[in-house]
């Protein structure tokens, strides 16, 4: 084995892809329906590095490679979460304050218990950083040998403890009340004499419904439905929307019709097509101008595995699959308008990708003054995440598209995450031997265990029962509070990349990152 480890030390790329491959295989092993997924790469890297260290050989993935993976992962996570993040932010700021309060409680626990165990300030600060798996916090604590030993001893349970709580959160996800209702198409017969307009109905139902076609007479043709259309008794109309809103609308208008207008394709047809023309990416459905150009309507937008109602304010991204209802004679024109090419799924938009990462990395390095004359920076992960959130929300600046196709985003995010986990594992593994030969190892482990549990159980309790967060979203929040990509990967794997996971993660990650850095700096100076 000595020769193998020597080769890995001299060829870090072999180490990187070896760990990725072995970790991926282990991550697929399922025990009672539970598997580690991408998080297995982290533990595989720790194991390999500690094993090599026992032979007196230091193997490690270069820091620049690890932080490249982290920056890519954080940026793309921001891009995909941006459209929903700022909408949620208006009502979710109490969640951020709650997370900050839980982290302060964790720091207070670290100080009180650490002093009781006879540990020094540097060791306490490093243990706090490791228990919450935050490398920038370790740097803020001074990065001294004592702090690094505390970090290494407490890091592993910082991941495993939160992994257990994430599993607990996901077990309750089947009863989530914040799960989006499935989007369905139904044909209704109007019985009411109230004669509402389509615009009134859309407004009344929060803009969540889309009316795609209408038939005025029993033998008449199906036609498109402008917003100023007045519904009369006897009309048959097709509506797209969440099941909950559809049920309410059905009771309001009449009843479900036995005639399915979707089957009548003589005058109006429908087709799925891929958005691959960059000129359309970043525009809202309303800005596409389909009604004016083609007398056509977008009924649904499918992004990844999620179907969404094509409301006028929904921003279209490259690679989206749109379902268009259009006159049969003009369907080919509409197809050419969208592009409908597989290129839209894989175009990584190099300009937005490169410049976004550049701005994010620069933002992460800006020194921020703190009371007492010191400074701190939020780091590459938080900087790129914030820039990604903004770019994902904007979608387009003039002719420049600022978002990435969903499929390409998932690939980049997964690869960046795996690279960072491999780096983080080799970094922690190289410190394991020194950490466990420290005379304070038991006290450090107890302190790290207590700190992780206070923050983890506190976040779980406050968010689950104080804010009534669903299990799926709570899993993302736990990962964001811990600022641990492995937890996000684990939750994504268990939920099939449910968007609520990434949204919860992105919602609290910046707050948690800044608060941890500040607290570690305070703890190190006590």
Domain end point (choices 305, 325, 345):
345
Q: 112: which 2 tokens?
A: 């009180």
Residues 132 and 200 in one domain: no
Residues 238 and 279 in one domain: yes
Residues 61 and 197 in one domain: no
Q: 318: which 2 tokens?
A: 């490259």
Angle between helices 145-171 and 441-461 (to 10 degrees): 40
Asked, for residue 31, whether it belongs to a domain, the answer is yes
Residues 170 and 187 in one domain: no
Q: How far apart are CA 107 and CA 123, in angstroms?
A: 13
Asked, for residue 363, whether it belongs to a domain, the answer is no
Give per-residue pLDDT as tens, 54-97. 777 888 888 888 888 888 888 887 887 777 677 667 777 888 89
Residues 193 and 156 in one domain: no
CATH of the domain at 217: 3.30.70.1450
Predicted confidence (pLDDT) at residue 510 exceeds the cutoff of 70 = yes
Domain end point (choices 295, 319, 345):
345
Predicted confidence (pLDDT) at residue 358 exceeds the cutoff of 90 = yes
Asked, for residue 17, whether it belongs to a domain, the answer is yes
Predicted confidence (pLDDT) at residue 137 exceeds the cutoff of 70 = yes
Asked, for residue 370, whether it belongs to a domain, the answer is no
Output the average pLDDT for the chain.
83
Asked, for residue 35, whether it belongs to a domain, the answer is yes
Q: What is the pLDDT of residue 306?
A: 72
Predicted confidence (pLDDT) at residue 458 exceeds the cutoff of 70 = yes
DSSP 8-state class, residue 254? E
Residue 454 pLDDT class (50, 70, 90 cuts): very high
Q: What is the pLDDT of residue 71?
A: 87
Task: Specify the 3-state DSSP secondary structure of 496.
Answer: coil
Backbone torsions φ then ψ of 89, nearest 5 degrees: -60, -35
Residues 360 and 383 sit within 8 Å (Cβ to Cβ) = yes
Domain end point (choices 345, 365, 400):
345
Reduce the secondary structure of 360-412 to three states and give it as a string.
HHHHHHCCEECCCCCEECCHHHHHHHHHHHHHHHHCEECCEECCCCHHHHHHH
Report the helix count and the strand count for the chain, using DSSP H and E. 19, 12
Residues 133 and 256 in one domain: no
Going by C-beta distance under 8 Å and a sequence separation of 6 or more, which residues neighbour residue 386? Answer: 78, 360, 363, 378, 510
Q: 410: which 2 tokens?
A: 């998932």
Phi-psi region of 496 (alpha: psi -120 to 50; beta: other; left: phi over 0): left
Predicted confidence (pLDDT) at residue 7 exceeds the cutoff of 80 = yes
Q: What is the pLDDT of residue 9?
A: 82
Q: What is the pLDDT of residue 378?
A: 74
Residues 156 and 290 in one domain: no
Q: How far apart are CA 493 and CA 30, in angstroms?
A: 12
Residues 201 and 152 in one domain: no
Predicted confidence (pLDDT) at residue 23 exceeds the cutoff of 60 = yes
Give per-residue pLDDT as tens, 103-119. 999 999 999 999 999 88
Task: Specify the 3-state DSSP secondary structure of 184.
Answer: strand
Asked, for residue 468, whether it belongs to a domain, the answer is yes
Between 465 and 31, name the one with better pLDDT.
465
Residues 188 and 219 in one domain: yes
| Count of structural domains within the chain | 2
**Mean pLDDT, rounded, for 161-170:** 91
Residues 153 and 241 in one domain: no
Q: What is the largest CA-CA distance in the chain?
A: 88
End-to-end CA distance of the chain: 45
Residues 20 and 418 sit within 8 Å (Cβ to Cβ) = yes
Residues 171 and 192 in one domain: no
Structural domain harbouring 38: 2-73+87-176+413-525
Residue 481 pLDDT class (50, 70, 90 cuts): very high
- 26-30 long-range CB contacts below 8 Å, 24 or more apart? 27/493
Q: What is the pTM of this model?
A: 0.66
Residues 232 and 272 in one domain: yes
Q: How far apart are CA 130 and CA 152, in angstroms?
A: 6
Predicted confidence (pLDDT) at residue 445 exceeds the cutoff of 80 = yes
Asked, for residue 270, whether it belongs to a domain, the answer is yes
Asked, for residue 8, whether it belongs to a domain, the answer is yes
Going by C-beta distance under 8 Å and a sequence separation of 6 or more, which residues neighbour residue 94? Answer: 467
């Amino acid at each position: 084995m000595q020769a193998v480890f020597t080769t890995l030390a001299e060829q870090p790329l072999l180490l990187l892809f070896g760990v990725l491959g072995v970790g991926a295989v282990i991550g697929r092993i399922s025990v009672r329906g539970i598997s580690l997924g991408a998080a297995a790469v982290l533990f595989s890297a720790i194991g390999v590095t500690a094993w090599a260290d026992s032979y007196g050989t230091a193997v490690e993935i270069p820091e620049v490679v690890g932080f490249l993976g982290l920056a890519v992962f954080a940026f793309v996570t921001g891009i995909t979460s941006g459209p929903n993040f700022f909408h949620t932010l208006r009502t979710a700021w109490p969640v951020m304050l709650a997370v900050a309060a839980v982290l302060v409680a964790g720091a207070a626990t670290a100080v009180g218990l650490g002093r009781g165990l006879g540990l020094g300030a540097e060791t306490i600060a490093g243990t706090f950083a490791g228990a919450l798996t935050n490398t920038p916090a370790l740097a803020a604590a001074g990065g001294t040998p004592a702090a690094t030993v505390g970090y290494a001893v407490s890091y592993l349970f910082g991941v495993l403890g939160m992994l257990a709580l994430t599993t607990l959160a996901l077990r309750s996800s089947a009863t989530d009340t914040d799960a989006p209702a499935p989007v369905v198409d139904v044909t209704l017969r109007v019985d009411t004499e109230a004669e509402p307009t389509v615009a009134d109905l859309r407004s009344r139902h929060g803009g969540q419904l889309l009316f795609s076609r209408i038939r005025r007479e029993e033998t008449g043709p199906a036609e498109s439905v402008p917003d100023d259309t007045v519904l009369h008794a006897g009309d048959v109309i097709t509506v797209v929307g969440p099941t909950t809103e559809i049920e309410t609308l059905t009771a309001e208008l009449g009843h479900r019709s036995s005639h399915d207008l979707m089957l009548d394709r003589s005058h109006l047809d429908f087709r799925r097509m891929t958005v691959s023309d960059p000129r359309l990416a970043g525009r809202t459905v309303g800005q596409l101008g389909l009604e004016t150009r083609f007398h056509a309507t977008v009924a649904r937008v499918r992004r990844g595995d999620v179907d969404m109602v094509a409301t006028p304010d929904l921003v279209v991204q490259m690679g989206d699959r749109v379902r268009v209802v259009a006159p049969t004679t003009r369907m080919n024109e509409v197809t050419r308008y969208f592009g409908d090419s597989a290129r839209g799924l894989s175009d990584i938009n190099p300009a937005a990708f490169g410049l976004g990462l550049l701005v994010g990395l620069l933002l992460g390095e800006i020194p921020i003054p703190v009371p007492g004359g010191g400074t701190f920076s939020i780091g590459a992960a938080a900087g790129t995440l914030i820039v990604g959130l903004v770019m994902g929300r904007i979608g387009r600046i003039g002719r420049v598209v600022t978002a990435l196709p969903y499929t390409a985003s998932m690939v980049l995010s997964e690869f960046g995450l795996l690279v960072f986990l491999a780096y983080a594992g080799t970094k922690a593994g190289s410190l394991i031997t020194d950490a466990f030969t420290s005379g304070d190892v038991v006290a450090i482990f107890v302190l790290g265990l207590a700190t992780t549990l206070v923050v983890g159980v506190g976040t779980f309790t406050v968010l689950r029962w104080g804010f009534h967060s669903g299990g799926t979203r709570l899993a993302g929040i736990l990962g964001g509070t811990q600022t641990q990509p492995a937890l996000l990967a684990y939750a994504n794997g268990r939920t099939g990349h449910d968007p609520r996971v990434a949204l919860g993660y992105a919602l609290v990650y910046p707050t948690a990152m800044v608060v941890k850095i500040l607290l570690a700096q305070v703890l190190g100076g006590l």
